[in-house]
């Protein structure tokens, strides 16, 4: 028996890319050489900023906390090929010789329609802002992939459409309690990466990540039907002073 699928609305393509920094080699460089490389990096980021101002994409730079990486970014672009072009431009930077990619995630901004399709111009305007967003530059970021469980006894994809809609409504009500404290972006990755969705959260207080994820574990959509393989957190590197401090120039 084939159950009814939910339609999705898809927006900008998304790339999370994380690097390990070769600090030993970096420290051997002169301050002048480091500054030249950072200036080149910031020129690229200024180009990204112009793209963001033109509402043709967005980005967020971060310092990863823990052993999973040192330095990374989240990038939004209209086409998958645009992500490739920006990733390739990154490879051409002089500072790239000190960076080793350790993690990437490819997906696309996604909105489900369990609550129905937008029906008015105002509703579509709100929807488009979610599909083609300007990423906040909050102090903290949290990223994690997720899957819906598929096993012999528990399988999200064999549940009737109405049951899935009911569970997603309950799940969404929890998220709304954190409006103003957390910015959340859901990206679909079925066919693009190893898991089914990516979730990226931004906040000024990292404890809000713990609170919302813990509370959502008690919703049936998560407690029974969802799997969360890993979490990555970090802090903002979205200004030149932040980058200079991180790279030891201040």
d(CA 125, CA 91): 36
DSSP-assigned states of every residue in 7-70:
PEEEEEEEEEEEEEE-HHHHHTS-HHHHHHHHHHHHHHHHHHHHHHHTTS-EEEEEEEPSTT-S
Inter-CA distances, 137 with 13, 38, 62, 204, Å: 19, 20, 10, 9
Q: Active-site residue 230, yes or no?
A: no
* DSSP annotation of 239: S
Output 21-26 pairs: Cβ under 8 A, ≥24 positions apart: 21/70, 21/71, 21/98, 21/99, 22/98, 22/99, 22/100, 23/70, 25/97, 25/98, 26/98, 26/247, 26/248
Burial class of residue 225 in the structure, from the number of CB atoms within 10 Å of its CB (0-12 exposed, 13-18 middle, 19+ buried): buried
| The one catalytic residue among 13, 144, 225, 246 | 144
Six-digit token string for 148: 């819906």
d(CA 36, CA 195): 39
Q: Which residues belong to the active site?
A: 144
């Amino acid at each position: 028996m084939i159950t009814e699928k939910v339609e999705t609305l898809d927006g900008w393509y998304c790339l999370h890319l994380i690097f390990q920094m070769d600090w030993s080699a970096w420290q051997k460089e002169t301050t002048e050489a480091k500054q030249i490389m950072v200036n080149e990096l910031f020129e690229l980021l200024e180009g990204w900023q112009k793209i963001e101002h033109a509402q043709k994409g967005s980005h967020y730079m971060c310092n990863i906390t823990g052993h999973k990486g040192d330095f990374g970014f989240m990038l939004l672009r209209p086409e998958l090929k645009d992500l490739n072009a920006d990733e390739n431009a990154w490879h051409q930077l002089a500072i790239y010789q000190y960076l080793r990619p350790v993690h990437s995630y490819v997906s696309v901004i996604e909105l489900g329609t369990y609550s129905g399709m937008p029906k008015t111009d105002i509703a579509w305007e709100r929807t488009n802002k979610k599909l083609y967003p300007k990423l906040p530059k909050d102090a903290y970021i949290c990223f994690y992939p997720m899957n819906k469980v598929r096993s012999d006894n528990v399988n999200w994809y064999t549940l009737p459409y109405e049951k899935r809609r009911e569970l997603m409504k309950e799940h969404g009500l929890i998220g709304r309690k954190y409006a103003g404290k957390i910015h959340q972006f859901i990206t679909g990755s079925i066919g693009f990466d190893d898991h089914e969705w990516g979730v990226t959260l931004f906040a000024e207080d990292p404890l809000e990540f713990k609170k919302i994820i813990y509370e959502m574990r008690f919703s049936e959509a998560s407690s029974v039907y969802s799997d969360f393989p890993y979490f990555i957190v970090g802090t903002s590197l979205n200004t030149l002073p932040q980058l200079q401090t991180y790279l030891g120039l201040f």
